[in-house]
A = this chain, B = another copy of it.
Amino acid sequence: MIEDRTRAAVNGGAHGVGGSTVWVFDERRRVRDDVASRLVALPSVARVEAVGDPASLLARLATRQPDVLLVGTQRATDSGLAVATQVLRAHPSVPVLVLGAPDDAESVRAAVAAGARGYLRWDASPVEMGLGVSRVGLRAEPGRPHTGPLSAVGAPPAHAFGGSTALAAAPTTVRAAVRVDVPAVTLSVREMQVLTGMSQGKSNAQIGRELYLSEDTIKTHARRLFRKLGAKDRAEAVASGFRRGMMS
């Protein structure tokens, strides 16, 4: 019951049309929801399912398999580690990523030894999660299983746990890895000014006043930049600007 509620809350009905399916296991609801909330923002992730009960995790694995399975470990109870080991024994082909506490290198090392593909700090940013997930379980096409073989992500627990965050080194690499689309668009100065205004929550009239232009003129620029960026919305246009590296 509780489990169904959580599933419903995280799952919704996003029938991933391309993009991988990620399962998150952790017995602590806070943790798995927190991690899930960051995962749903990733463009490469189409479907996120949160599981809090070892039994139902194994039951699901019997019929379906995720592209990546994140397993949270906690030092206090060894349950997370036990679950990971159990899963890997039953389904060695499932790409398991261990979610470790920032200072818990041991459990992580143990899990990697047991067959996990890598680890992530549970406080990793979406970008870092994206890197980890895409390295471990990228799917080229919806029907195909994860493209393998992939080199282990979790090789050097020691130094990674010393830094601020595991896998934090190369965000630009992530961009390159995740990016798929973007056929190089250039916006004019005016269009950039309008887009910037939009990203600051300004109305067309407000942008017009600040640029000493008519609101209708702003609308025209907006329409044009929507076309260029392939956006139907100012929200999508702003997102597109950020994804293309035009904004910061």
Contacts and interface: CB of A to CB of B under 8 A. Distances in A.
Max chain B C-beta neighbours (<10 A), residue from A186, A201, A236: A201
Protomer copies: 2
A168 B170 CA distance: 11
A88 interface: no
B14 A210 contact: yes
Interface residues of A, number: 59
Contact of A234 (B130, B231, B234): B234
A243 B247 CA distance: 9
A40 interface: yes
B193 A43 contact: no
A236 B201 contact: yes
Interface stretch (A5-13, A56-64, A105-113, A150-158): A5-13
Interface in A169-194: 171-172, 174, 178, 186-193
Interface string A32-50: 0110111011110000001
